[in-house]
Every structure is written in structure tokens, then in C-alpha cells.
Chain A
Amino acid sequence: MKNIEQINDKISSGKAVVLTAEEVIDYVDKKGLDQAAREVDVVTTATFGPMCSSGCFLNFGHSKPKMRMTEAWLDDVSTYAGVAAVDLFLGATQLQANDPANRDYPGDFRFGGGHVMEKLVAGEEVQLFALSYGTDEYPLKELRTTFTINDLNQCIMVNPRNCYQNYNVAVNTSDRPIHTYLGYLKPQMKNCGYSSAGQLSPLLNDPFYRTIGVGTRVWLAGAQGHVYSEGTQHSPTCERGHLGVPSEGAGTLALTGDMKKMLPEFVRGVSLKGYGVSLSVGVGIPIPILDEQMLLQTTVRDRDIMAQVIDYSTDYPERTGRVLGSVSYEELKSGSIMLDGKKIEAGGLSSYSKARKIAGILQEEIRSGQFLLTRPIAPLPLEQSMKPLKEASS
């Protein structure tokens, strides 16, 4: 039995035993749960993948004369200006103005909000164009200038939904290729797309949110951010398998962090042909090993984590709820899965290799005393499900 304070004392004195969620599997196999639980203080988890529900708040400071921005674009990507005079919100999935989108199907979606966020973190120059109706104290009506992230007062990332606990595996049973947010799917189930770091993924290592809750400090693309709320669509009441690990979407986290402290490698604009733009973000979350049970949760392996195969040509868009089958992340990561005797090639959208790198970076930061653990200030809900849209029939 350990508590967060004891673990933090060990971290501060450079004596904490920190393993990644990959390393801990073999370690427990070798040492046994009982001994390993006494030795291991922290297990680092990580994920890197598209987190569509992302964006950032920017504060520009005031022009001379002052302006109350009512419409604004960053590199021609429309932002939300209904916040305050010089605060803007940029959404990761917002397209650049005049992008033909899917009018020229399948659209390329080369640049959007996520790409602007990538440029900001990389320290590149971005163009601001803003309009206003003008007021007595904010007379300026039009502004065009360039800036970098260093010129801003704040640039704060928010991910209302991040770290999806698990996710669908998408296939296409139709006769024509389809373009989805899980990638290009060939007809007749020739390939499938998935997106999870599996055994490294944060919420698969703490499936009942014992240590990860509101207020938990996280590694968000290199910055020390935190969980500010349950994520949107958080739906922990779900089908669960080995060690209580969900075999479908389930829990999510809402994260925030200072983009000025982020690393460009882990904030990447995403272009999905025929679908749109998004943002891939790297997240690392430490799990304090409070007791044997917590350690046991972190020993979950890819072969025990299952995901549901869903047909994105009919069942997903039509919301039929039909599931074609269930496969493990070990199978998915092997490069192909078997479904009803048919071999289907598998390609990920989340990067396991980047997730490994992040788990390693966080491990080093904790070992060297730079990253301390937190006790959540409020737990995440353990029982609730996701409602479909109520469509009024008038």
C-alpha cells in the first residue's frame, strides 16, 4: 500500500521505480504481483493519435487602436470570435476557407485548424485576419498581421475529448471504397482501420478511473497539463472483458495544457482524404501503483484487449448497432485480422511507436523528479452511457 504523497517523496528524492506500461508486463511476470507491487511506484502510459475534439484558445493582446474581433481567421481558417475582444477559439477540424471539401470527392483536406495548431507549436508565423463592426472603445474594424506563438499572451490547448478508452475497428463491406476518419477502406473488407495504443493506452491501464480523474496532471505533448473534466461522450457503462477493460469506446478525458510548452513532434495536423482535417496529439499519463490491484490493471496486454469490428459502409452511418466481430490488439498490430475465416489487412491511425516514445519520455521525467503525480480532485463518473440525439417529431 502506497499513497500519492509517498510516491512523490520517492520521485523527489530520485528513488522512484518507474516502468512503462509495456515494461511492467514482463516485470510482474518475473517478480510476481506481490513483490512487484512493493517495488514499482509508477507505470507510465501513453497514446498518440487523432483527437478530433481539440482546439485552442488564443489571446492576442490589443492592437492600437483597440479592436473587438467579431470574425477572425488564422491562415484563412475560421475561428470562433464570440469569446471576448481579443480571445479566439480555433477548432482542430475547421477547414481552410474555400477548401472544396467533398465537392471534389474525395477531398484532400490539406490544411485546417489542426495544421494551424501544429504551426503554432512549431514556432512558425501564422496570419491573423480579423473584422469587427467597431464600437466607441474598440474602433478598429479590420486587421491583418502575422504572429508566432511567442507573441501571444496565452495559447491554451483544450481537448474536450481525448484518450478514448477503446475504439472501433472499421471495415467496409460494400462494393465501393469509402473514406473514413479511420482511413481509406477498400471494398469487401480487404482492410480495416483502428486507433488505440492498446496495452500502452492510459484508460486501458486504469479501466475504472481509480487514479485518473479530474485534476490529474498529464503529459500533454510535452507540457504538463491536466484533466479538467470527464471527456465528451464519456460512457463507462459498457461491455468489459479481461480485468474490466472495455471492449468498446467507453471513457474519455477532457485535457488542457499550455501550447507554449509543447513539443512540435507531438502536435500534428492531420489530413484524412474524403473525411476532413483533425489533430493528432501525444498524451502520457502516469499511474501511481497504490496497491497490487492497481499494478494488476497495468499488466493488461494487447492480446487481452478486444475491440469491436464495425461496418462503416452501413452499420456505423445508419446507427444499427450491429457488430461484425471482435478482435484483439495483438491481432491488429500483427498487420492482419481474421474475421469469419477471411484475412483482413490492418492499419492503425494511432501511432504505437510514438506512444512508446512518450511513455519513455514521461518515465524519464518522473525518474528525474521533473514530473510529480497528483491525486484527482474529483473522480470520473463510473456509470453513465452515451445517448443518441433526440430528434423532435413535430
Chain B
Amino acid sequence: MSTEPITRKLMLYFPECETEKPIVYHLVKDYDLIINIFRARVTPEEEGYLVLDVTGTEEHILQGTEFIRSLGIRIDAVNKGLAWDENKCAQCGSCVPHCPTNALSIPDRNTMEIVFNTEECIECLSCIKVCPFAAVSSLF
């Protein structure tokens, strides 16, 4: 396995019982991962969500995610905290100037089609405020 650091975006879903463990602490201390939290909602006695980037070697990320799973926390690798509905999107592009990371972008200025790259999304939610068609929504 490569020792080059890589970055993965993860969305964690905490069932009600798992919200009290200091997960981020263990990811940093035990697995040497750099953590960048985009958005979190972790309330005692309720389900919780955490969307973050983890940076480290592939091996450490694997071990770290195994540790997270061992606590009964679900990792959603496909869905992130922000969803873009291609069918609801009318391709107007009013979101694009408001997206700070180019996660929502128009790569081809001839066709002017909107593309959403979830890996680039830092979940600032700016697009939700400006989308006239409710095509972007927050999962939490």
C-alpha cells in the first residue's frame, strides 16, 4: 500500500447511542489522520451526522474507517450531506458564482450544463439559498 497521503471525504451517520465517543480524537491520535470537518450535527440522544475529509496513508484511512465502523457508526461513501438532484436542476447556473470550491460548475461553456462534484463540496450550503428550483438539499 502506498505511503503517500490521500484524502477521502466521508459522511458518518451516528445512530442515537453512539454520539458520545470522541471519534475525531481517536482518528488523530491512533491513526495519524488529518481531519477537516465540514459540517456536523451531533446532538445527545438523537441521531447525528458528521461530514469530514480525512487525510493520511491509505492504510491508516482503512484502519480509521474500520475503527469508526466498529463503534456502530455507518459510513456512507456514496451519499454525502448535500444532494444535487439532476432532474430538479433546471441548469440555470445561478448557483455557480456562489460555490466557493467549484463543486457546482459549468465545465463546458458551449453547452452550459451544470456538473456537481461531491468530492469538492465542503457543504457550505450557499447553493441551497440561491437555487430557485430546490435542486440541492441537505440530508441533515
Select one of A280, A334, A346, A353 contacting B97, CB under 8 A. Answer: A346
How many Å lie between the Cα of A350 and that of B94 in the bound state? 9
Q: Is B132 an interface residue (CB 8 A)?
A: yes
Given contacts A268-B90, A354-B90, contact A349 B132 (CB under 8 A): yes
How many Å lie between the Cα of A131 and that of B14 in the bound state? 49
Q: Is B8 an interface residue (CB 8 A)?
A: no
Q: Is A193 an interface residue (CB 8 A)?
A: yes
Select one of A271, A272, A348 contacting B93, CB under 8 A. Answer: A348
* Inter-subunit contact A356/B111 (CB<8 Å): yes
Q: Is A288 an interface residue (CB 8 A)?
A: no
Provide the B45-87 mask, 1 if CB < 8 A to any CB of A, else 0: 0000000000000000000000000000000000000000000
Please name the residue on chain B nearest to A273 by beta carbon.
B129
For A345, what are the chain B residues with a Cβ–Cβ distance below 8 Å? 96-97
Please name the residue on chain B nearest to A271 by beta carbon.
B132
CB proximity to B under 8 Å, residues A292-348: 333-335, 345-348
Given contacts A270-B133, A273-B130, A349-B132, contact A333 B112 (CB under 8 A): yes
B26 to chain A, nearest CB (A): 39
How many Å lie between the Cα of A269 and that of B90 in the bound state? 11
Given contacts A110-B134, A191-B97, A273-B130, contact A351 B92 (CB under 8 A): yes
Classify the secondary structure of A's interface with B. Answer: strand
For A270, what are the chain B residues with a Cβ–Cβ distance below 8 Å? 132-133
For A335, what are the chain B residues with a Cβ–Cβ distance below 8 Å? 96-97, 106, 109
Q: Is A49 an interface residue (CB 8 A)?
A: yes
Given contacts A48-B90, A351-B90, contact A184 B106 (CB under 8 A): no
For B92, what are the chain A residues with a Cβ–Cβ distance below 8 Å? 49, 280, 347-351
Q: Is A213 an interface residue (CB 8 A)?
A: no
How many Å lie between the Cα of A378 and that of B98 in the bound state? 45
* Inter-subunit contact B130/A184 (CB<8 Å): yes
Given contacts A345-B97, A356-B111, contact A183 B91 (CB under 8 A): no
* Inter-subunit contact B133/A347 (CB<8 Å): no
Most buried by B among A270, A334, A349, A353: A353
Provide the B104-128 mask, 1 if CB < 8 A to any CB of A, else 0: 0010010111100000000000000
How many Å lie between the Cα of A334 and that of B107 in the bound state? 10
How many Å lie between the Cα of A280 and that of B92 in the bound state? 10
* Inter-subunit contact B93/A184 (CB<8 Å): no
* Inter-subunit contact B111/A334 (CB<8 Å): no
- Which B residues fall within an 8 A CB radius of A? 90-98, 106, 109, 111-114, 129-130, 132-134
- Which A residues fall within an 8 A CB radius of B? 48-50, 110, 183-184, 191, 193, 268-273, 278, 280, 333-335, 345-354, 356
